Amino acid sequence: MLRHLPTTKHPDLLVGTEHNDDAAVWRRHGSNALVATADFFTPIVDDPNIWGQIAAANAASDVYAMGGTPLFALNLVAWPRDELPLEILSEVLIGGQESATNGGWVIAGGHTVDGPEPMYGMSLVGEIEESAALTNSGAREGHALVLTKPLGTGLLATALKRSEPEAIQEGGRLQDIYTVGVREMTRLNADAAEAALRAEASAATDVTGFGLLGHLHELVSASGLSAFVETEAVPRLPDVVDLVEEGFVAGGTERNLDYLEPHLSGGSSTDRLIMCDAQTSGGLLFSCDPAAALEAVAELQSGGHMAAVIGGLESDNPGQINLRN
């Protein structure tokens, strides 16, 4: 993922740091606007159906992060047809359809090409009410930070690639983290977006390839604020510390940390790596009034989300993040 890509200038195209960098917002005549986004990646789990579900949920995340509703999508596929049977691709597409059905959007078609390795995702269009759209530039001093999913999916994906298939089976060393990780990666951010809107969130973003701290840094920089994070409050997948200690840290996570080092203070090396872990289909991070944050977390937790209030926003040293033990 690149941090800055060139875009075409147009009066109805709303782009820039205040909006999600992975999506474009198109102003329509009326109160609503369209959100267009695309995302795809190679398999991160062996089960093709689950991979399809995760990829679709991940693609829709940018729409939810703006408080929008997905409308329709096109499948994006690269497939090594001489290496892998098309029956496996069918399972991937069925998984994507399951996520779309759960989220209420339509898969209207797609495009498939031959490729050296399998890749799957979606180009997706959603709708937002422009006046209520969530951006990452409106955060306010004194507001609390809410994270709606646990961290560690990047570490899990790396461990899966380097482990035997038995590791995720009954009694395997990755069974617990795999079970919870799949549940969270296939979980849509629809409820989290609704909770953020009800809490009148001042800013929001989804947590994906730049990790929690990378996306938080973008949010506070765009808002002219700094942040503190209570490291013990940050939700994590089971046994994720063990994966760090065993060396299952992806190169993207290390690059995230290298980039952010000048903007961080406090925290152990393990905490920093976990909070820079490049996420797939991660949760939403949003800021709101502290009382509303507690209500939003209670609501999400009652629905099975591993949500938590993880810190807050301050006015000193814009762009800086203090990790408190």
Digit-coded pLDDT (tens) for 49-93: 999 999 999 999 999 999 999 999 999 999 999 999 999 999 999
Domain boundary among 132, 156, 182: 132
User: Do 159 and 292 fall within a single domain?
Assistant: yes
| pLDDT score at 19 | 46
User: Do 128 and 265 fall within a single domain?
Assistant: no
Phi, psi of 312 (to 5 degrees): -160, 180
pLDDT along the chain (325 residues), means of 10: 47 47 74 90 96 98 95 98 96 98 98 96 94 90 98 97 94 97 98 98 96 98 97 97 96 96 97 98 98 98 98 96 95
Whether 58 maps to a domain, the answer reads yes
Q: Are 144 and 309 in contact (CB under 8 A)?
A: yes
User: Do 106 and 168 fall within a single domain?
Assistant: no
Whether 138 maps to a domain, the answer reads no
Digit-coded pLDDT (tens) for 122-144: 999 999 988 888 999 999 999 99
Quickly list DSSP for 95-126: HHHHHHHHHT-EEEEEEEEE-SS-EEEEEEEE
Q: Are 122 and 56 in contact (CB under 8 A)?
A: yes
Whether 93 maps to a domain, the answer reads yes
Give residue 32's domain range. 13-132
Domain boundary among 99, 132, 165: 132
Residue 64 sits in a domain of what CATH number?
3.30.1330.10
User: Do 113 and 165 fall within a single domain?
Assistant: no
User: Do 158 and 272 fall within a single domain?
Assistant: yes
Whether 7 maps to a domain, the answer reads no
How many domains in the chain? Answer: 2
Q: Which amino acid is at 4?
A: H
User: Do 191 and 316 fall within a single domain?
Assistant: yes
| pLDDT score at 22 | 67
Domain boundary among 132, 152, 172: 132
Whether 4 maps to a domain, the answer reads no
Q: Which of 109, 105, 82, 114 has the alpha carbon at shortest distance from 93? A: 109
Whether 63 maps to a domain, the answer reads yes
User: Do 59 and 194 fall within a single domain?
Assistant: no
User: Do 89 and 50 fall within a single domain?
Assistant: yes
User: Do 128 and 160 fall within a single domain?
Assistant: no
Residue 310 sits in a domain of what CATH number?
3.90.650.10
Whether 195 maps to a domain, the answer reads yes
User: Do 177 and 288 fall within a single domain?
Assistant: yes
Whether 74 maps to a domain, the answer reads yes
CA atoms within 13 Å, Cβ hemisphere of 145: 32
User: Do 38 and 61 fall within a single domain?
Assistant: yes
Let me know if 99 is exposed, middle or buried by CB neighbors in 10 A (0-12, 13-18, 19+): buried
| pLDDT score at 131 | 83
User: Do 191 and 128 fall within a single domain?
Assistant: no
| pLDDT score at 27 | 81
